[in-house]
Amino acid sequence: MASQQANKKLHGFSKSERLCNFTLKNLLFTQGESFQQYPFKIFWKTIDPNLEKLFFAKSVTEYSTVEQHAPENAQNPSHPHKIIPRNALFSHPVQCLTGVSSKAHKSAVMRNHLKRLIRESYRQNNASFYSFVKDSNKLCLLGIIYTSVQPIAYRDIESKIIVSLQKIQQKITEQLTR
């Protein structure tokens, strides 16, 4: 069902594509890789599709799962009361967050405008990146932080987002070939 929705809305940016889970954000910023692509600082991390190891690392035990159960009902057999949070489930291969510094941009209107431009350019240009990550059998966490003090035009933001996504693809390819 999720794949039908993804195919139906190829250039969408739904709630399930946004990175909202605290554990995943923490993982992205503490263990993820980053690079500077002016005016952005890009954080990214590929993770294994098995989220139980990530969320229940201290108490997970190896077991066989029944395939007919939905992933949101997946439970850790050691702690049956613990389930993977809904906002941590991946219905798309990439979850993304955007940010703009309130120190550099005092006006909330300007911060929201810049975040809207970033999300729009990402939304328009993520199709090839999504298919690449899906084919590599990984999940990806992505953080796009706007670091420039001056606002720039949409076409410049879009070109930098495209270059950044291509750079991440190259780095993931390097990781997979090692």
In order of their start, the domains of the chain are: 16-53+85-177 (3.30.230.10)
Q: Measured between alpha carbons, how far is 127 from 153 in angstroms, rounded to an integer?
A: 22
Instruction: Give the helix ranges, DSSP H, for the chain.
Output: 2-8, 22-31, 51-55, 108-125, 127-135, 154-177
Helix (H/G/I), strand (E/B), else coil: 48: coil
**pLDDT score for 145:** 96
Low-confidence residues in the chain, pLDDT < 70 = 1-12, 52, 56-82, 87
**pLDDT score for 50:** 74
Closest CA to 74 of 58, 92, 94, 60: 60
| Contact criterion met (CB below 8 Å) for 123 and 48 | no
**pLDDT score for 62:** 45
**pLDDT score for 46:** 92
Helix (H/G/I), strand (E/B), else coil: 141: strand
* Phi then psi dihedrals of residue 99, to 5 deg: -150, 150
Q: Is the pTM above the cut of 0.85? A: no
**pLDDT score for 11:** 67
